[in-house]
Structure 1
Amino acid sequence: MTTFVDRVELHVAAGSGGHGCASVHREKFKPLGGPDGGNGGRGGDVILVVDQSVTTLLDYHHSPHRKATSGKPGEGGNRSGKDGQDLVLPVPDGTVVLDKAGNVLADLVGQGTTYVAAEGGRGGLGNAALSSARRKAPGFALLGVPGGMQDIVLELKTVADVALVGYPSAGKSSLISVLSAAKPKIADYPFTTLVPNLGVVTAGETVYTIADVPGLIPGASQGKGLGLEFLRHVERCSVLVHILDTATLESERDPISDLDIIEEELKQYGGLDKRPRMVVLNKIDVPDGKDLAEMVRPDLESRGYRVFEVSAVAHMGLKELSFALAEMVAAARAAKPKEEATRIVIRPKAVDDAGFTVVQEEDGLFRVRGEKPERWVRQTDFNNDEAVGYLADRLNRLGVEAQLMKVGARSGDGVAIGPEENAVVFDWEPTVMAGAEMLGRRGEDHRLEEPRPAAQRRRDKQAERDESQKEYDDFEPF
């Protein structure tokens, strides 16, 4: 039996990037033919996409952990690793994505709408991509970046034009069954409906969707009964219809008090008391029900409600109700602002944004935070001295070392790069000006150089000195 689930907690993990390869081309009579290590493949993303054929979050309730595939490592012969495959997760129309704190990350409405829940890590560069005129044979490659991870909450809010609200057994399911082709479960006991039912109604040239919201009783907005679980499905509806039972067997209830209680619950939930609404007095096929409907109708109309007397069982008053709902839906659609064309929002960085921050913590530790230095640390193989030196050059070029000196760091002080739970900590040794001297030597292999005339060597030396003052990592966008 199909189970309806409209709220789940999902743990998503993107694929990690593949490691770059450090390799040297070799062939007969040319054992050192230059670096030929390929780049690692990119990790796959985890993507949520609206699929209107999906109506429940049941699959994610049973399998809440989802992970995309990682990229393959690079290989020699300039062969790049294969990218990881994206993991596409279909979700129902009207799914809201929240973080663990309840902040809305995305509101997925409309077929094909997508949201990247976790972004795949980029692949590491191989030593072929790291080579340059001054670094002819890098003996290292960059590691792949781990994929993003996130714990998210998916909430389904039914996308319907009309919502039927009212007490249990007021006749909501019976009414939706005769107005549309929906076939909900119907019985004469409370809480027959345990999930929202959705139907499509055609009235003249207007086609609209109608949903019944189960479980509203006094205190529903505070969690009593089933109401709190399903009140979210009313939020997207343009028109609210109160279904009032005129033939209830409970002596302490009457249509007016039922209406007041449900209205208060909608108000307490927040924002629902301002929607266009009408009142339907149901079960007028019962003699006492007809008399009670005629008695309370003037009071309801004096409150400004449009009132319709119907019988879902006897099919009385349904045509008038259907066209009246179509009229209200059309008016609500016309009142909505037209969707503007998609705009590209450009948020340029501040001219004084260094891309990182350095803060001294209470225990004296200097912590470096920033997207670039944290990513560079994750890409570094700390078992390779040349790779560590390359990281030092990058940090020095970015200005991290100068900023450490500016905030008061001294030789031997502890420096951490990254967040507290996943940081690289080391004792800082200043290397100011050492970077410029080392740039031309780190990663070189003079065995790969051909003999050059003296004049050419002088020109090359001067070019190296000039280039050492410029950014040399333009192979990777910052």
Structure 2
Amino acid sequence: MTTFVDRVELHAAAGNGGHGCASVHREKFKPLGGPDGGNGGRGGDVILVVDQDVTTLLDYHHSPHRKATNGQPGAGDNRSGKDGQDLVLPVPDGTVVLDRDGNVLADLVGQGTTFVAGQGGRGGLGNAALASARRKAPGFALLGEPGEARDVVLELKTVADVALVGYPSAGKSSLISVLSAAKPKIADYPFTTLVPNLGVVTAGSTVYTVADVPGLIPGASQGRGLGLEFLRHVERCSVLVHVLDTATLESDRDPVSDLDVIEAELREYGAGLENRPRLVVLNKIDVPDGQDLADLVRPDLEERGYRVFEVSAVAHKGLKELSFALAELVAGARAAKPKEEATRIVIRPKAVDDSGFTVTREEDGIYRVRGEKPERWVRQTDFNNDEAVGYLADRLNRLGVEDELMKAGARSGDGVAIGPEENAVVFDWEPTMMAGAEMLGRRGEDHRLEAPRPAAQRRRDREAERDDAQRAYDDFEPF
């Protein structure tokens, strides 16, 4: 049965926003109470958060589909819908979030670090919020936006200071069990360790963590054995320790050749492992002929520039010297790291000439409008309601979409698409929409809700209407 998983694909779906409500206040002796539709609630987010108590991605291996709750729709009497509840997913420290193309979206290191994997949809406005001096009784409301749905890959990379690397059965698990309080599985057969084990070591005033990585064999960087699955757990480690077996029973192996093989695999894997500080541990010197082999190969290893320690995990020999040497290397690696700067808020103001949308002509003659606002407005529009469509026309006109379409060469009857190709609203464009948008802007007006105008104001309005009619007559050209 699988108990450790360090790579999964997560299907995260945020909650949808609740729809706004179109309602008119009704009360005895108040026949014209006005609009009172409430706003829809916001959809819940899907949030990844680092939890030190979580050490595996096993839960998401069994249940990869996760969805936050939707926002509730608004109601009459100015009652807003309830917001959806955020879905918080705990992940181990050192989890890397990638998209399907392998691009890194976030590197979650440190307790409490968060990443929003799916953004909840906005709630739609009710007709009470849409009411204005020109549109006093809107007969429509905005729809809630759908929540963001995204597929991400979670990849765990162990966060440790020291990594023990070497052949299977070299004694790495035994070594970490005596250096720390970790209790890994130990047996006399290869590939006993199937998951990385972490242990905490205290040497003087330095406290550091040690990772026991499953055994490597030739070809591990290309996927042979378990190496490729777990070499990623070595990437974050500051110090590498080669654990070499001085009591191997295989005739074609010796500590020096084992070291050469592991070094070649680390170079092949890359990720900067070839440049990490390292030292060599000659293990099992308590075994017959183990000490003799250690004495034989030690001069050769020291000539290559390695610091060599002879230890016995079983007999507890040489452990104190090794732990303090590791503490010295870890302290040096920590001091060499650049200090983290205080968080700075970077403000990037929008360019003065940035309209917030683009209009492009595609090969099939369609004019495509892309931009955050136009696409959001389309998603929020109920196309079964004429007033809502008129309100959308108003907004697009005020944003300048009509003008840009004309500049791009659009003509009457040309197709216009708002949004991405896979989810766009397509319509036949009419240049008269510019004038029509101004007319549609008067949708929702109810003169019965207007206060009585003074006589002088009514007279000026009648004169303005006569002047408009006269200008329209003078500009009329018969066919």
Q: TM-score range by the shorter chain?
A: over 0.9
Partner Cα distance (2:352, 2:281) in 1: 62
Tell me which residue corresponds to 2:168: 168
Residue 67 in 1 paired to residue 64 in 2? no
Residue 228 in 1 paired to residue 228 in 2? yes
**5 Å matches for 1:394-409?**
394-409=395-410
TM-aligned CA distance change 1:67 to 1:82, over 3 Å:
same
Partner Cα distance (2:460, 2:332) in 1: 78
% identical aligned pairs? 89
TM-aligned CA distance change 1:188 to 1:430, over 3 Å:
same
Structure 2 residue ranges without an equivalent (≥5): 464-479
Q: Tell me whether 358-367 or 6-15 shows the greater mean CA deviation.
A: 358-367
Tell me which residue corresponds to 1:208: 208
What is the one-letter code of the residue matched to 2:104?
V
1:84 alignment partner, SS class:
coil
Residue 24 in 1 paired to residue 5 in 2? no
Tell me which residue corresponds to 2:470: none
Tell me which residue corresponds to 2:432: 431
What is the one-letter code of the residue matched to 1:202?
T
Shift of 1:432: 5.3
Partner Cα distance (1:436, 1:220) in 2: 66
2:422 alignment partner, SS class:
helix
Q: Tell me whether 47-56 or 356-365 shows the greater mean CA deviation.
A: 356-365
Residue 251 in 1 paired to residue 228 in 2? no
Partner Cα distance (1:162, 1:457) in 2: 86
Partner Cα distance (2:145, 2:202) in 1: 53
What is the one-letter code of the residue matched to 2:414?
D
Tell me which residue corresponds to 1:96: 96
Tell me which residue corresponds to 1:468: none
1:255-290: CA deviations, max 9, x gaps?
111111111111111110100000000010013111
What is the one-letter code of the residue matched to 1:55?
T
Tell me which residue corresponds to 1:467: none
Partner Cα distance (1:220, 1:421) in 2: 42
1:341-374: CA deviations, max 9, x gaps?
0011222222221111111111111111111111
**5 Å matches for 1:321-400?**
321-400=322-401
Shift of 1:254: 0.8
Tell me which residue corresponds to 1:320: 321
1:79 alignment partner, SS class:
coil
1:13-36: CA deviations, max 9, x gaps?
000100000011111122221110
Checking the alignment, whether the CA contact within 8 Å between 1:50 and 1:90 is kept in structure 2 is yes
Tell me which residue corresponds to 2:299: 298
Shift of 1:433: 4.4
1:256 alignment partner, SS class:
helix
1:386-442: CA deviations, max 9, x gaps?
100110111111111111111111111111111111111111112354157426522
Residue 131 in 1 paired to residue 131 in 2? yes
Checking the alignment, whether the CA contact within 8 Å between 1:140 and 1:386 is kept in structure 2 is yes
Tell me which residue corresponds to 1:122: 122
TM-aligned CA distance change 1:54 to 1:349, over 3 Å:
same
Partner Cα distance (1:296, 1:434) in 2: 90
2:376 alignment partner, SS class:
helix
1:48 alignment partner, SS class:
strand
Partner Cα distance (2:438, 2:63) in 1: 55
Shift of 1:2: 6.8
Partner Cα distance (1:205, 1:459) in 2: 88
Checking the alignment, whether the CA contact within 8 Å between 1:396 and 1:435 is kept in structure 2 is no
Partner Cα distance (1:125, 1:253) in 2: 73
Partner Cα distance (1:460, 1:167) in 2: 93
Partner Cα distance (2:286, 2:79) in 1: 78
Checking the alignment, whether the CA contact within 8 Å between 2:200 and 2:210 is kept in structure 1 is yes
Tell me which residue corresponds to 1:109: 109
Tell me which residue corresponds to 2:80: 80
Partner Cα distance (2:444, 2:461) in 1: 17
Q: Tell me whether 2-11 or 106-115 shows the greater mean CA deviation.
A: 2-11
Tell me which residue corresponds to 2:242: 242
The total of aligned residue pairs comes to 463
TM-aligned CA distance change 1:440 to 1:362, over 3 Å:
closer
1:287 alignment partner, SS class:
coil
Partner Cα distance (2:219, 2:202) in 1: 35
2:353 alignment partner, SS class:
coil
1:421 alignment partner, SS class:
coil
1:450 alignment partner, SS class:
coil
Tell me which residue corresponds to 2:184: 184
Partner Cα distance (1:121, 1:369) in 2: 19
Residue 11 in 1 paired to residue 11 in 2? yes
Shift of 1:461: 10
TM-aligned CA distance change 1:91 to 1:366, over 3 Å:
same
1:134-191: CA deviations, max 9, x gaps?
1100110000000001000000100101000000110000100111111111112111
Partner Cα distance (2:426, 2:223) in 1: 48
Runs of 4+ in structure 1 off by over 4 angstroms are: 456-462
Partner Cα distance (2:461, 2:434) in 1: 21
Shift of 1:303: 1.1
TM-score (norm 2): 0.94
What is the one-letter code of the residue matched to 1:74?
G
Shift of 1:304: 1.1
1:433-468: CA deviations, max 9, x gaps?
415742652210112123221334578999xxxxxx
1:289-316: CA deviations, max 9, x gaps?
1111111111111111110000111111
Tell me which residue corresponds to 1:309: 310
Shift of 1:84: 0.3
Partner Cα distance (2:173, 2:95) in 1: 24
Checking the alignment, whether the CA contact within 8 Å between 1:161 and 1:237 is kept in structure 2 is yes
Structure 1 residue ranges without an equivalent (≥5): 463-478
What is the one-letter code of the residue matched to 2:398?
R
What is the one-letter code of the residue matched to 1:264?
A
TM-score (norm 1): 0.94
Partner Cα distance (2:269, 2:233) in 1: 12
Tell me which residue corresponds to 1:45: 45
Q: Cα RMSD between the aligned structures?
A: 1.6
Checking the alignment, whether the CA contact within 8 Å between 1:134 and 1:439 is kept in structure 2 is no
TM-aligned CA distance change 1:2 to 1:202, over 3 Å:
farther
TM-aligned CA distance change 1:385 to 1:436, over 3 Å:
closer
What is the one-letter code of the residue matched to 2:229?
E
Tell me which residue corresponds to 2:145: 145
Checking the alignment, whether the CA contact within 8 Å between 1:215 and 1:230 is kept in structure 2 is no
